[in-house]
């Protein structure tokens, strides 16, 4: 089995998901290659596995967006003519930000027509995709979860040591936001709510690099924090060895998304055995069911002071085991499920 993926390993520093997935497949003797036009055209590939196709459209001008869409649709047509199957993993139902809506909607319409199979990370995700994109209803579809991050990042400190290194009192309530910062992730709202609660014993750690495509977001976050010493802004890339500090020190990981389907950040928090607060959107209820309501708490509507106070009490004084139960998210199992999906798509589906 030969697979070319976009991306495969090159985004590992930003998001280890792809590297972990394709490393698991390499352990099963699958040949994996990072996508490039030259590689695609110079060899036969059984599968072209595409993640986040909307990234093809993240260009600065209308003409460059149009050209990127035209180029990649042409490459997909070339690959299919060679017998390569096109597989899309559904991370999101739609782009979180449309820069050129007409061009992007046209691209999606044409992209979906060229697929040979889809992989959804959750049952909810697949159901919602079929509802919103009925054109793919006849394709082979597989539900394969996002794997955990346990053992991927160093875990050499405990709660007390992490707080000591960060200069946070042991008795403090520590709330953490962790992940890339984009407008839909609603970080200014989180800061506003923490400030409204006015608990002097609370510390909020905002950890993550803002998306450079939204330059005003840094100013908005800094204005929301406005010299409140309880709020620490770490608006940069967090080194792998330091990830443990901000999640081990936390009583609660808060991800106050405006919209979301799946969340790698939630699984990251759970991998450090940190309870998670998320809105009841997308597949978050499914995650709660999988790992249990002791580890994932959901809320309806907008994050507010009442939700935050209840979540803090739940996180600090609720009863839960020492480790979040993450067995369903083992990468070895996920690799085998993905390989089975590839074979299923190759052998059961021929486009009209």
Span 204-257, pLDDT tens digits: 999 999 987 777 899 999 999 998 999 999 999 999 999 999 999 999 999 999
DSSP 134: G
- Between 79-83, 84-88, 195-199, 346-350, the lowest mean confidence (pLDDT) is in 346-350
22 and 37 housed in the same domain: yes
Q: What confidence score (pLDDT) does residue 18 get?
A: 97
- pLDDT score of 103: 83
Reduced to 3 states, what is the DSSP secondary structure of residue 87?
A: strand
Report the DSSP beta bridge partners of residue 296.
276
pLDDT of residue 350: 57
Closest C-alpha to 69, from 86, 52, 57, 51: 57
Residue-wise pLDDT for 327-344, tens only, equals: 999 999 999 999 999 999
Say what the pLDDT of residue 102 is: 80
Percent of the chain with pLDDT over 90: 81
Q: Residue 100 has what pLDDT?
A: 74
Q: What is the C-alpha separation between 4 and 43, in angstroms, rounded?
A: 10
Tell me: do 342 and 315 sit in the same domain: no
Question: First CA to last CA across the chain, in angstroms?
Answer: 24
Task: Give the domain extent around 258.
Answer: 159-326
pLDDT, position 87: 98
Sign of CA dihedral 185, 167, 296, 238: positive
**What is the model's pLDDT at position 57?**
76
Joined tokens for residue 120: 């959804």
Q: What one-character-per-residue DSSP string does 268-285 give?
A: HHHHTT--EEEES-TTHH
Is 349 a residue whose pLDDT tops 70?
no
Q: What is the mean pLDDT of residues 107-125?
A: 95
Tell me, yes or no, whether 13 and 56 share the same domain: yes
Q: Per-residue confidence at 203, pLDDT binned at 50, 70, 90?
A: very high
* Residue 97 reports pLDDT greater than 60: no
Residue 154 belongs to some domain of the structure: no
Q: Are 168 and 58 part of one and the same domain?
A: no
Nearest CA to 247 among 225, 275, 287? Answer: 275
Mean pLDDT of 98-104: 74
Give the mean pLDDT of 179-203.
94
Give per-residue pLDDT as tens, 244-264: 999 999 999 999 999 999 999
Query: Across all residues in the chain, what is the average pLDDT?
Result: 93
The total of structural domains in the chain comes to 2
Q: d(Cα 186, Cα 180) in Å, to the nearest integer?
A: 11
Identify whether residues 217 and 284 lie together within a single domain. yes
- Separation of alpha carbons 153 and 185, rounded Å: 23
Check whether the bond before 285 is cis (ω within 30° of 0). Answer: no
Q: Is residue 231 part of a domain?
A: yes
Is 153 a domain residue? no
Closest CA to 257 of 202, 188, 211: 188
Identify whether residues 215 and 99 lie together within a single domain: no
Looking at the structure, tell me whether residues 114 and 72 fall in a common domain: yes
Instruction: Inform me whether the pLDDT recorded for 351 exceeds 60.
Output: no
* H helix and E strand count, the chain: 13, 12
Residue (of 136, 85, 142) closest to 108 by Cα position: 136
Q: In terms of domains, do 19 and 71 share one?
A: yes
What CATH number is associated with residue 318? 3.40.50.2000
- The answer on 344 and 319 residing in a single domain is no
- Interval 30-40 mean pLDDT: 97
Predicted confidence (pLDDT) at residue 348 exceeds the cutoff of 80: no
- Same domain membership, residue 310 and residue 164: yes
Same domain flag for 231 and 261: yes
DSSP 3-state of 120: strand
């Amino acid at each position: 089995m030969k697979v070319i993926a976009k991306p495969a390993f090159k985004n590992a520093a930003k998001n280890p998901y792809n590297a972990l997935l394709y490393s698991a497949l390499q352990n099963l003797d699958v040949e994996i290659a990072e996508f490039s036009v030259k590689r695609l055209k110079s060899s036969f590939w059984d599968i072209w596995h595409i993640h986040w196709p909307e990234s093809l459209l993240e260009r600065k001008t209308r003409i460059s967006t149009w050209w990127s869409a035209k180029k990649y649709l042409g490459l997909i047509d070339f690959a299919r003519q060679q017998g390569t199957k096109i597989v899309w993993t559904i991370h999101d139902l739609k782009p979180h930000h449309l820069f050129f809506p007409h061009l992007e909607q046209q691209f999606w319409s044409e992209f979906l027509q060229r697929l040979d199979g889809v992989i959804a990370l959750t049952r909810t995700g697949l159901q919602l995709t079929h509802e919103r994109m009925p054109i793919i209803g006849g394709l082979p579809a597989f539900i394969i979860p996002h794997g955990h991050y346990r053992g991927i990042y160093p875990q050499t400190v405990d709660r007390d040591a992490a707080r000591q290194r960060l200069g946070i009192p042991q008795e403090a309530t520590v709330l953490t936001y962790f992940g890339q910062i984009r407008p839909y992730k609603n970080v200014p709202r989180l800061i506003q709510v923490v400030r409204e609660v006015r608990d002097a014993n609370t510390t909020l750690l905002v950890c993550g690099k803002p998306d450079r495509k939204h330059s005003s977001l840094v100013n908005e976050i800094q204005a929301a924090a406005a010299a409140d010493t309880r709020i620490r802004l770490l608006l940069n890339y967090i080194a792998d060895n330091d990830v443990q500090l901000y999640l081990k020190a936390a009583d609660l990981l808060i991800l106050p998304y405006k919209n979301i389907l799946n969340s790698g950040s939630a699984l990251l928090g759970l991998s450090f055995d940190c309870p998670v607060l998320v809105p009841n959107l997308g597949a978050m209820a499914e995650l709660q069911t999988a790992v249990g309501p002791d580890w994932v708490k959901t809320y309806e509507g907008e994050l507010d002071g009442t939700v935050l106070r209840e979540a803090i009490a739940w996180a600090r004084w609720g009863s839960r085991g020492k480790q979040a139960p993450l067995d369903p998210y083992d990468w070895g199992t996920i690799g085998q499920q993905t390989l089975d999906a590839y074979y299923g798509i190759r052998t059961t589906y021929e486009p009209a």
